[in-house]
Structure 1
């Protein structure tokens, strides 16, 4: 009887152990393989020698083991060019060896990659990259990885494009930006022929952001009076993702807001009256005489010059010519009863305007020939007083 009880007890224990094993096995099967983790190395250095590059390696890991890797390299097509090309290579993993081949997006240049990956927390990549017929030795030590969130934050490019700004304190009324799909970019640029705009040359070159996002941002300057209509038209063009205003070249500390009433005629700025007032005020403050003035039909800017005796060498009777550019626009899109004038920083040139023969001078290597414009802020204050206007308070971000 006792033997029977012992046997039953052992059978029950055995059955219980087997059930536990089965339960654990089922649990393990349900849990499946380790979760994937994506990490990036985005400070790899100069992988292509002297060619400027923007590059990263994306790794997918399971249980700490690298199971896939992608090399993304955006690079200048030459050391003297702003135009970019890009290649992405899925790397074959064989222990520490990473290898792959492909071609670049733009020029279809063949690429072969052979790297050795070593390390744990700090990782090094060494090897060779063959781009076309050029072989580059790679040595990228001490790389730390980042997670998806941190990597994406590092890739954000702010183009400052605002489709509906509340006013022109953060964006410029003459600066327009258009985000367009790359396949439609060239056609969009060509469509601006005859529109009397000035295209920012650096915006037509393909950059890394355009190659990776598939969208390129074109920037140009246009008369503020024509900007709203042109933006509305561009929004309907093929491939355009967004169109609006962007930041410009003028400083808000040099801006004056004033009532439009006394300076308008038939709903538009009375350019002759405004030019006369502005040049007269500036000349008085600068101790100079008005010389020339011209409005740029493309950008809507007024450029005027003033002349005064140069103080560099009074005995030589030289003439200093000051050139000042101003931009005038309603203070917000859609029209307003207030205008803003932005005054550019004066540039200076000294010449001999006495009777022939005249002295010739080389350009100053230090920039402005006159060391400072002590009366420049005085000019802005005087213009603000004459226009009964307000100046921008940078600290409080409001008009004062």
Structure 2
């Protein structure tokens, strides 16, 4: 028994030593490396979109990367970008690179200083011969998860929508690699489509993703074919339907029976019905009605006496567009008609000499759409159709 107790006592110093060593090792373990982001830096290059990514061990920056998307010229919407690895040295962050587009040399020399719970950045960024003084204060950093939540995911293209209640039947979106975009756009010259000019602007999101989303308008009856061809083009990663002109509040769902000629829309019958209904609700005479071969829209013009200064006998010209398509891709036994809001102008059609009129309405006046006299409801009745109920998200 005494021998056993003696053995236990002999072990105590070794146990204490091991515990002390473990405790010491715990205290001396280096802090974990984490990634932090500055998603916006005000007071940087004028109008630039800036992202600073840092790897830190405790409070020490071990590496950093500065991503800047900016306008090389104040008179142009064109964007260029540079991504520069920065070498930390105390509070200094320095590095050199060149812009990705114009290959202009770039140098960065920043000082990063804590300011309570935020950070200040001061220094100089040189792009070619231009020097930009940096003075950015009170910047909060984000964790990697927080930063990812601020980045918008591109979900605008529906490659296989169940119907056209969330996307528009004439609106096609195509995501293509930037290096392939020029060649792809050239192929559209023979496709009889309308390309959105604004979608050709290569912004910061496109530069960072390396992909451009090109938006097209096309006759709904040809949209599926255009999408299929686009998907086969090298560099295209997605093609499908997207948001367009259709406003569900002004849409009508009706049976296709009686409104087709073979496998095509009976556009003559549809135009006759739509224009006759609008002539009644607008209390105006039809002046013209034509189907656009590119977009597939029915463009209608009506005329009626203007109530502005009746003694002048002016004419009010009302323009309305409509679109008819299947209610979902791949064909259907139902059709969907969308009727646009009318727009109008006033002209003098009397014998010469005529008044030259400037339709100088203010922005507030333009914000309120012109009345169509209940045309959507009247058309729904004429077509024996249903209207979209936004609250229940169903046709009723």
For the superposition of Structure 1 and Structure 2, which TM-score range results when normalised by the shorter chain?
Answer: over 0.9
**3-state DSSP class of the match of 1:336?**
coil
- Give the one of 331, 340, 344 matched to 1:344: 340
TM-score, normalised on structure 2?
Answer: 0.92
Q: 5+ unaligned residues in a row in structure 1: which ranges?
A: 1-7
Give 1:379 shift. 1.1
Are the structure 2 counterparts of residues 368 and 256 from structure 1 closer, same or farther at C-alpha, using a change threshold of 3 Å? farther
- Give the one of 97, 100, 110 matched to 1:102: 97
Taking the TM superposition and a 5 Å limit, the aligned residue runs for 1:312-391 are 312-366=308-362, 375-376=371-372, 378-391=374-387
Are the structure 2 counterparts of residues 9 and 175 from structure 1 closer, same or farther at C-alpha, using a change threshold of 3 Å? closer
For 2:9 and 2:219, the matched residues in 1 are separated by 95
Find out whether 1:229 has 2:238 as its counterpart.
Answer: no
* Cross-structure match for 2:52: 57
For 1:290 and 1:382, the matched residues in 2 are separated by 17
For 1:180 and 1:344, the matched residues in 2 are separated by 31
Find out whether 1:399 has 2:372 as its counterpart.
Answer: no
CA-atom RMSD in angstroms: 2.4
Give 1:326 shift. 0.8
Q: Deviations over 1:69-128 (max 9, x none)?
A: 111111123234333211111112121111111111111121111111111521111112
Q: 5+ unaligned residues in a row in structure 2: which ranges?
A: 1-6
TM-score, normalised on structure 1?
Answer: 0.91
Do the aligned partners of 1:350 and 1:369 also contact (CA within 8 Å) in 2? Answer: no
Give 1:28 shift. 5.1
Find out whether 1:44 has 2:41 as its counterpart.
Answer: yes
For 1:152 and 1:315, the matched residues in 2 are separated by 64
Q: Deviations over 1:21-45 (max 9, x none)?
A: 55556x559x953211111111212
Do the aligned partners of 2:346 and 2:359 also contact (CA within 8 Å) in 1? Answer: no
* Cross-structure match for 2:154: 158
Give 1:10 shift. 10
Are the structure 2 counterparts of residues 224 and 371 from structure 1 closer, same or farther at C-alpha, using a change threshold of 3 Å? closer
Find out whether 1:214 has 2:210 as its counterpart.
Answer: yes
Do the aligned partners of 1:125 and 1:139 also contact (CA within 8 Å) in 2? Answer: yes
* Cross-structure match for 2:140: 144
**3-state DSSP class of the match of 1:376?**
coil
- Give the one of 30, 34, 43 matched to 2:31: 34
Do the aligned partners of 1:320 and 1:349 also contact (CA within 8 Å) in 2? Answer: yes
For 1:219 and 1:43, the matched residues in 2 are separated by 28
